[in-house]
Amino acid sequence: MRKQSVRTAALILCILFYLLVGAAVFDALESEAESGRKRLLAQKRSELRRKYGFSTEDYRELERLALQAEPHRAGRQWKFAGSFYFAITVITTIGYGHAAPGTDSGKVFCMFYALLGIPLTLVTFQSLGERLNALVRRLLLAAKRCLGLRRPHVSTENMVVAGLLVCAATLALGAAAFAHFEGWTFFHAYYYCFITLTTIGFGDFVALQNDEALQRKPPYVAFSFLYILLGLTVIGAFLNLVVLRFLAASADTPERAARPLRRGAPESLGPALPRRPAHPAGSTSISYRIHQLELWARDNLGFSPPASPGAGGGGGGGGGGRAGRPLARRKSI
């Protein structure tokens, strides 16, 4: 329990430090540019008021009207295609903010719709991600066999590298398409794809908002919907692999500290720690939970996580590090 508390406290400190670093970097990059935009906007406002003789109150009313008209600039948002687009952003938690329910009944339905839709979407993408990871594993095994390896093995690192390449290709494909259809630069289109598929959804770039595309360009609308849904599956599968790798790495140090020295290794300075059973009944230790997670990954994702140091080691009898671990039966893919 004490080790778990220390690990949790360390993770909280890491997050706080990461937030502080991010705040410092964003402050340095964006603060001066924001001040410049604010000065330019104030200058434009003064020029318009002098040119057209607006009073302060009249100009504020004009600003309110412009803000209210902005959501309608892209055409009707609440026809079926636009409503489907909005539903995607709700259940995937992308939430661009380009449209929002205007009626109280719409707001109430949106809350209940999200309450059921978000968990359903998470479970669906989790299942699809597992199948995608299993497919990638089979392709990697086939590639290693073609290279002449006698006993091909796909590790977590192999899967993470392959997932990273697939993610980069998915983002590049979407960026090329949206740059063509939306008239964005490739960089801005790539940024839009990344912000969308990671469900950040700032809303500074939103597809299907020009030239009434939702009503006039059905093929482009269908492509956008499919790309978002399939892209979320790819990115989600990759992030699952990364989280699994981090969890395994975080438990590696305490597991190594608790394991006795292998046969033939030099003696430690302190007393040897007793060997724990591989599956203690009711155990709640981090290492045991990670061991269970590794077995689940082997069964459901179709690949073997990296072996802990010393697991296959040392003395006679071959494979002594696996003595206390039952072999997990691999499910069919």
Residue 246 predicted with pLDDT over 60 = yes
User: Is residue 15's pLDDT more than 70?
Assistant: yes
328 in a structural domain: no
Residues 88-112 pLDDT 10s: 999 999 999 989 999 999 999 999 9
Q: Residue 301: what pLDDT?
A: 55
Whether residue 254 is contained in a domain is answered as: yes
65 and 201 assigned to the same domain: no
CATH value at residue 143:
1.10.287.70
* Separation of alpha carbons 228 and 197, rounded Å: 7
d(Cα 233, Cα 132) in Å, to the nearest integer?
8
Range of lowest pLDDT (53-62, 91-100, 113-122, 205-214): 53-62
Are residues 50 and 127 located together in one domain of the fold?
no
Domain presence at residue 184: yes
Do residues 56 and 137 share a domain?
Answer: no
Residue 331 lies in a domain: no
Task: List pLDDT tens digits, range 128-168.
Answer: 999 999 999 999 999 999 998 888 888 888 999 999 999 99
- Residue 34 pLDDT more than 70? yes
Q: Minimum mean pLDDT among 62-76, 175-189, 245-259, 310-324: which range?
A: 310-324
Residues 131 and 204 in one domain: yes
Q: Pick 57 or 255 by higher pLDDT.
A: 57
Residue 300 confidence (pLDDT): 58
pTM metric for this prediction: 0.73
Establish if 104 belongs to a structural domain. Answer: no
Q: Work out how many domains the chain is built from and give that number.
A: 2
Structure confidence at residue 269 (pLDDT): 41
Considering the domain architecture, whether residues 136 and 228 belong to the same structural domain is answered as yes
Same domain, 167 and 235: yes
Residue 133: per-residue pLDDT: 92
- pLDDT mean over 305-320: 47
Q: Do 64 and 127 share a structural domain?
A: no
Q: Per-residue pLDDT for 226 more than 60? A: yes
Look at residue 251 and tell me whether its pLDDT is greater than 90: no
Do 234 and 135 belong together in one domain? yes
Task: Note whether 163 and 231 are same-domain residues.
Answer: yes
Binning pLDDT at 50, 70 and 90, where does residue 318 land?
Answer: very low
Residues 129 and 20 reside in one and the same domain: no
Residue 86 lies in a domain: no
Tell me the mean pLDDT in the region 56-80: 85
pLDDT on residue 176: 98
Where in the sequence is the domain holding 143, given as residue range(s)?
123-258+285-306
The predicted model gives 266-283 an average pLDDT of 45
Q: Mean pLDDT score of the chain, rounded to an integer? A: 82
Same domain, 156 and 297: yes
Per-residue pLDDT at 332 exceeds 50: no
Identify whether 323 is part of a domain.
Answer: no
Let me know if residue 264 belongs to a domain: no
Q: What is the pLDDT of residue 290?
A: 59
- State whether 158 and 302 are in the same domain: yes
What is the structure's pLDDT at 67? Answer: 84
Domain boundary among 5, 39, 72: 72
